[in-house]
Structure 1
Amino acid sequence: MSAADKACAIDLAGERVLLLPEKALYWPRLRVLAVADIHFGKAASFRALGVPVPRGTTAENLALLDLLLAAHDVAHIVFLGDFLHAKAAHAPATLAALAQWRLRHPALRLTLVRGNHDLRAGDPPPELGLELANEPYLLAPFAFCHHPELQAAGYVLAGHVHPVFHLAARRDALRLPCFLVGGQRAILPSFGAFTGGHAVRPAAGERLFLVAGDMVLAHAKLTLGR
């Protein structure tokens, strides 16, 4: 099964986009990959506070980005805020890993739409070559944002919420990352490892697309086995 077969193609604001099981959104016409809430250095930030948490989350996030770049024709990644988790995310090991990844993709355009964690963490080092923008970052017909409640001149693609959905049937239950898609905005799931999630339910006019393993499925199409 190809990467396109595992994705869910939908139309937003007159544009065809792919909701990817890697918890990102791909816009083929402009070759844009939208990634929300990657939170580089979150584990390092916790360890700096003396909290014992697993290592390797930065490498895991970068490997997943590499997988997406290999599977899709991407010219531009737009990070929808919370690129770095906190000031402690400027740890030498984290920045070195990011720098090495950047050297492997020198022609790739990177834009960071600043989120609330970015304001506390500070901007990434200039050598990473990210274009920095405050929300909304406009590429018509889309407004790339961090906060989904922002009013913008375009269809809003946002993060911040880390949406997940609790799916239950009889004695079985799943907690799945999801895309929450409405008439004026879509909220992407958190891309980063070790970022948690916030349970959501669709309001009137909203649709849920659930990340179920290596596929994205509309909520109504996903059922649990006995």
Structure 2
Amino acid sequence: MMEHPSFDADGVSLTMLPERALLWRERAMLILADVHFGKAAAFRAGGIPVPHGTTRANLDAIDALVQQHAVGHIVFLGDFLHARTGRVAGTLSALAQWRARNRALALTLVRGNHDHHAGDPPAELDIEIVDEPWRAGPLAFCHHPQTVAGAFALVGHVHPVYRLSAAGDTLRLPCFVVDGRWAMLPAFGAFTGGYPVQAQPGQRIFLAAEDCVLPLPGSIPAR
């Protein structure tokens, strides 16, 4: 199995996973950004026909990561729920059933802009809800891109993707953006879209492909 790349964040080694997540192995912590549970339901409530099953797909993907990496704590970097109109019975029931099967997991949500509009998750999900920046060790967990004095920031919000072009073909892949004082995660949600980014001076981009994470050609290796 290919070893996934890691980067150093003020002495903490963080592994980038192709499932668009970060792993802090030392603390058995999985870090996810922008899941947007209920987004498809919110679109359907607005009269836009979109596929069903995105909540289940997201939860199944989380389950697989928890089992594969022996995760004990999940930190959500904002936008857990997409909108108030997405708080439908099917979505909330699926979340409650998932939580009932995973009572041993510690869950922390760093509120994002969508969380402020959608409202906090139901109390029965037993999620610790905090405002940004939330700090653990030398890391600051945030939703919006920012720098935090005395800490290395992990951020979301942008849903970064990188556009590859060759021979007239174009491919957009979710990506991690690693800067000197922060790292940006791609959106974890299966129905979230993406915003094209380019590496700025001092930044590295890592592409989240189907089963591996690849440094953008010309990027400095993460290790």
Pairwise same-fold verdict (TM > 0.5) = yes
Judge which range, 87-96 or 180-189, deviates more: 87-96
- Counterparts of 1:111 and 1:138, CA distance in 2: 12
CA contact (8 A) 1:10 1:18 kept: yes
Distance in 2 (CA, whole Å) between partners of 1:81 and 1:75 is 19
Runs of 4+ in 1 over 3 A off after TM superposition: 150-153
* Matching residue of 1:167: 164
State the AA in 2 paired with 1:13.
D
Q: 1:53 aligns with which of 45, 50, 55?
A: 50
Which among 97, 103, 122 is matched to residue 100 of structure 1? 97
* Residue 208 (structure 1) aligns with: 205
RMSD: 1.3
- The residue type equivalent to 1:185 in the other structure is W
Bigger mean CA offset, 147-156 vs 45-54 = 147-156
Give the aligned length. Answer: 219
2:139 corresponds to: 142
In structure 2, what is the Cα distance between the partners aligned to 1:182 and 1:153? 15
Deviation of 1:173 (Å)? 2.0
1:169 deviates by 2.1
AA aligned opposite 2:193: G
Correspondence for 1:123:
120
Q: How far apart in 2 are the matches of 1:84 and 1:144?
A: 18
Contact 2:147 2:181 in 1 (8 A): no
Cα distance between partner residues in 2 of 1:14 and 1:172: 40
For 2:9 and 2:153, the matched residues in 1 are separated by 10
In structure 1, list runs of 5 or more residues that go unmatched: none
In 2: Cα distance, 1:49 partner to 1:94 partner: 16
Taking only the aligned residue pairs, the percentage that are identical comes to 55
Structure 1 residue 152: Cα displacement: 4.5
Give CA deviations for 1:15-70 in whole Å, capped at 9, x if unaligned. Answer: 11110000000001111110000000000001111110000000000000011011
Q: Which residue of 2 aligns with 1:199?
A: 196
| In structure 2, distance between residues paired with 1:32 and 1:67 | 14
Q: Is 2:138–2:151's contact at 8 Å kept on the other side of the alignment? A: yes
User: Structure 2: which amino acid aligns with 1:207?
Assistant: R
- 1:11 maps onto 2:8 in alignment: yes
Aligned partner (choices 216, 219, 225) of residue 216 of structure 2? 219
**Deviation for aligned residue 1:133:** 0.1
Q: Is the 8 A contact 2:143 2:155 kept in 1?
A: yes
For the residue of structure 2 that corresponds to 1:22, the secondary structure is: coil
TM-score (norm 2): 0.95
1-side partners of 2:218 and 2:42: how far apart? 39
For the residues of structure 2 that align with 1:7 and 1:44, how far apart are their CA atoms?
A: 34
Q: Does 1:182 align with 2:179?
A: yes
Counterpart secondary structure, 2:90 = helix
Distance in 1 (CA, whole Å) between partners of 2:90 and 2:169 is 40
1:6–1:20 contact (8 Å) kept in structure 2: no
Q: TM-score, normalised by structure 1?
A: 0.94
